[in-house]
Structure 1
Amino acid sequence: MKISVVGGTGFMGSRLVKALETVGHQVAAHDRSTGCDLLTGEGVARAVASADVVVDTIDAPAFDASASPFFRTTTDNLLAAAGQAGVQHAVVLSIVGIDRIPEVDYYQAKVLQEARLAAGPIPYSIVRATQFMEFVDKIMSWTTEGDVVRLPPTPIQPVAADEAVQALADVATGEPLGGILNVAGPDVFPLDDLGRMTLQARPGDDRTVVTDASAGLFAAVHADALTAPEGARLGRIHYRDWLA
């Protein structure tokens, strides 16, 4: 199978390319560094030519309201080029629970991206993943001031990136879902406890986690909106084991 991965040199895209190549698929990685710019449309037709499947793993450059026009334009450009090339399956990587959090601009931008995909001319699949275990440090950095990390007690169900990638690869090489597959880790933690657990595993990090219900992006999340809904595909890697 010929698969074009847009964003294929990024954090998730590069992992997906490797996973697909390992099982014998013909995979091409594309992004601006290879001459494929979804925002301007430059090189997109060339990137999807002769592909059976296209997978979009790109991210918006900012988490604010600018993400919506970014995803509208990039998704439309990709679908237009893919439709002309006769691509049979378009796959997008998204985030669990985004339709339940209207207060977060970035999540609403991803909802828009999903809607454009679903309304497009190509059979599609959406893979929504929970927050990656590899990104917990980044999440903590957003609300770190000196040696204090302020985190809300928002329930989080982190998934190992490699397990999310395997789900993405399985979907990309299967029949189009015409809908959503949710992917999550096996355990749910309050984000503040997750932060404490992370710091305890790193003796050289002297930061302290303080519970603050108003701190950072995840303060806007309602109840368990970012945890796996019924029927989700759950990974087997536990966060404590991943830390170890």
Structure 2
Amino acid sequence: MRIAVAGATGMVGHQLVQVLEAGGHETVAMSRSRGVDVVSGQGLATALTGAECIVDVLNAGTIDQAAATRFFTTAARNLHEAGDRAGVRRMVVLSILGVDRFTAGYLAAKADHEQAALSGPVPVHVLRAAQFHEFAAQNLEWGRQGEVAYVPWMRVQPVAAEEVARALADLASGPDPAAPISEIAGPREEELVDMATRLAARRGDPVRVEGIEDPADSNRDLVKAGALLPGPDAIIAGPTFDEWLAAT
């Protein structure tokens, strides 16, 4: 099966390509570095020739809501238009758990991404994933200021990016899913600050991790209430964060 991956050089994208090729599929790795621009549409027609499925694991590269929304909705429209012309029969889109509950910020942009994807002519399945185990390392670096790393308090049920890649590969190459949206998360709820602290200790990093909370953040109460946690029907995929950490 020929499967095109939009965002193939990202954290999930490059692992997805490996999983698909290990399963005997032909992949088309789409990224700007390979001459394919999903926003301008450059290279899309050629890349999608003969493709049966598109997997969208794109990252907007910004947390600004307006800019991210423009990126995601434009990309979704272009992928649908080019995919429909090429005869693509299915699109799988990676999203984030709970985005339909948010009205501000990057998560709201992802909600608009979902709607744009689900509204196009090519049949779409959305996989909403929990934050990745790798998210702890990203926040540790994003919040680092000298000897302190400021990490937001956040209830999550993290999952390994590799497991998300496997789930996406199954959705892309398997039978038609019964529902348009599914969820995937790890086995155990965690607190992001605790994850970052344990990661720093594992690495021997002397940075002091401090939890922060932005009182102006309109999403704060939703996150506290567990909006980023999975529902009862979610796919639960190991390893736990501690098991993943021990293996890194």
Please confirm whether the aligned pair reaches a TM-score higher than 0.5, indicating the same fold.
Answer: yes
Residue in structure 2 matched with residue 151 of structure 1 by the alignment: 151
Residue in structure 1 matched with residue 61 of structure 2 by the alignment: 61
C-alpha distance in structure 2 between counterparts of 1:35 and 1:144, whole Å: 34
Q: Offset at 1:86?
A: 1.0
Runs (4+) off by over 6 Å: 215-219
User: Which deviations, in whole Å up to 9, do the C-alpha atoms of 1:82-129 show, x marking residues without a partner?
Assistant: 0011110011111111122223x2111111111111111111111111
SS in 2 for 1:133: coil
User: Which deviations, in whole Å up to 9, do the C-alpha atoms of 1:169-211 show, x marking residues without a partner?
Assistant: 11111234351111111111122222222222122x1111223
Q: Given the superposition, is the C-alpha separation of residues 57 and 216 from structure 1 closer, same or farther in structure 2, using an over 3 Å criterion?
A: farther
**Do 2:136 and 2:192's aligned partners in 1 also have CA atoms closer than 8 Å?**
no
1:223 to 203, 219, 225: 225
**Do 1:156 and 1:189's aligned partners in 2 also have CA atoms closer than 8 Å?**
yes
| Deviation larger for 137-146 or 207-216 | 207-216
CA RMSD across the alignment = 1.9
Q: Given the superposition, is the C-alpha separation of residues 31 and 152 from structure 1 closer, same or farther in structure 2, using an over 3 Å criterion?
A: closer
C-alpha distance in structure 2 between counterparts of 1:136 and 1:96, whole Å: 17
Matched, 1:201 2:202: yes
**Do 2:2 and 2:26's aligned partners in 1 also have CA atoms closer than 8 Å?**
yes
C-alpha distance in structure 2 between counterparts of 1:218 and 1:139, whole Å: 20
User: Which deviations, in whole Å up to 9, do the C-alpha atoms of 1:131-153 show, x marking residues without a partner?
Assistant: 11122111122222221222343
Q: Offset at 1:216?
A: 11
C-alpha distance in structure 2 between counterparts of 1:196 and 1:160, whole Å: 18
**Do 2:102 and 2:219's aligned partners in 1 also have CA atoms closer than 8 Å?**
no
Matched, 1:132 2:132: yes
Unmatched segments (≥5 aa) in structure 1: none
Residue in structure 2 matched with residue 30 of structure 1 by the alignment: 30
**Percent identity between the two aligned chains:** 38
C-alpha distance in structure 1 between counterparts of 2:37 and 2:216, whole Å: 31
| Deviation larger for 56-65 or 207-216 | 207-216
What is the one-letter code of the residue matched to 2:24?
A: G
Residue in structure 2 matched with residue 45 of structure 1 by the alignment: 45
Q: Given the superposition, is the C-alpha separation of residues 216 and 163 from structure 1 closer, same or farther in structure 2, using an over 3 Å criterion?
A: farther
Residue in structure 1 matched with residue 108 of structure 2 by the alignment: 108
C-alpha distance in structure 1 between counterparts of 2:217 and 2:235, whole Å: 25
Unmatched segments (≥5 aa) in structure 2: none
User: Which deviations, in whole Å up to 9, do the C-alpha atoms of 1:149-173 show, x marking residues without a partner?
Assistant: 2234321111111111111111111
Q: Offset at 1:41?
A: 0.7
Residue in structure 1 matched with residue 13 of structure 2 by the alignment: 13
SS in 1 for 2:36: coil
SS in 2 for 1:66: helix
Q: Offset at 1:44?
A: 0.6
